[in-house]
């Protein structure tokens, strides 16, 4: 087992909410006894590898959004030997970058599904971004083998990149991911040329 992390939000870039967050996180990394050796370099490497592995498995958290990158390891505390297993637990403090949606944020996403009721987009790590047909003023649904939404100037079809505004986002605990509702009801939104 890699250990348990206690995620703590630390800072946002500036006072305005933005989709990329710089965070400071604290947790515990468990190193199996067989991975320990007398040289400190192997221990540091083992801690970094375990930390990266656990970081990658987390995917997302409700408070921080999607965990994108581990920036720096700030501090590795003194290890404590677990009595029953002989594994060593190290407290670790590190900084990371995460991606979280906020209402009113402008995003670009790629259409991956066209439905009569709207379209589904992928935006960075978020797979479920929904643009309802009611949030696409002046676009009409055109059914067929490759359905599209069309207006006099542009069309929205599978593979098209759209610039949209976030109306709301919802955290799904079981899937450990977000869903978002977006719209085209502002200036300079829609298909990206």
Q: Biggest alpha carbon distance in the chain?
A: 71
Q: Convert the pLDDT of each residue in 88-100 to its tens digit.
A: 888 988 888 888 8
Per DSSP bridges, beta strands 126-132 and 177-183 are parallel
Domains of the chain in start order, with CATH, are 5-99 (3.30.1490.120), 106-191 (2.40.50.140)
Spell out where 77-176 has E strands: 80-81, 88-99, 106-115, 118-123, 126-132, 140-142, 148-150, 155-156, 161-172
Is residue 46 within 8 Å of 115, Cβ to Cβ? no
- C-alpha to C-alpha distances, 132 to 84, 129, 135, 165, nearest whole angstrom: 55, 10, 5, 12
Tokens, residue 36: 């320990």
CB contact set of 100 (below 8 Å; sequence gap of 6+): 19, 21, 64, 65, 66, 178
CA distance 87 to 43: 12
Q: What is the pTM of this model?
A: 0.74
Confidence grade of residue 147 (pLDDT, cut at 50, 70, 90) = very high
Average pLDDT, the chain: 83
pLDDT of 8 over the 70 cut:
no
Give the residue, 44 or 127, on which the prediction is more confident: 127
Is residue 47 within 8 Å of 29, Cβ to Cβ? yes
């Amino acid at each position: 087992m890699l250990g348990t992390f206690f995620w703590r939000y630390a800072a946002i870039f500036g006072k305005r909410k933005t989709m990329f967050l710089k965070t400071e996180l604290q947790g515990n990394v468990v190193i199996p006894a067989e991975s320990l050796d007398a040289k400190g370099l192997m221990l540091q490497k083992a801690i970094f590898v375990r930390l990266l592995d656990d970081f990658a498995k987390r995917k997302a958290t409700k408070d921080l959004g999607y965990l994108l990158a581990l920036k720096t390891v700030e501090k590795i505390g003194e290890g404590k030997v677990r009595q029953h297993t002989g594994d060593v637990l190290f407290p670790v403090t590190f900084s990371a970058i995460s991606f979280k949606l906020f209402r009113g944020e402008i995003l670009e996403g790629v259409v991956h599904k066209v439905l009569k009721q709207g379209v589904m987009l992928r935006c960075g790590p978020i797979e479920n971004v929904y643009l309802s047909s009611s949030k696409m003023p002046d676009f009409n649904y055109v059914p067929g083998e490759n359905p599209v939404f069309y207006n006099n100037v542009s069309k929205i079809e599978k593979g098209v990149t759209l610039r949209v505004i976030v109306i709301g986002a919802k955290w799904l605990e079981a899937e450990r991911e977000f869903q978002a509702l977006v719209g085209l009801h502002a200036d300079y939104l829609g298909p990206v040329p």
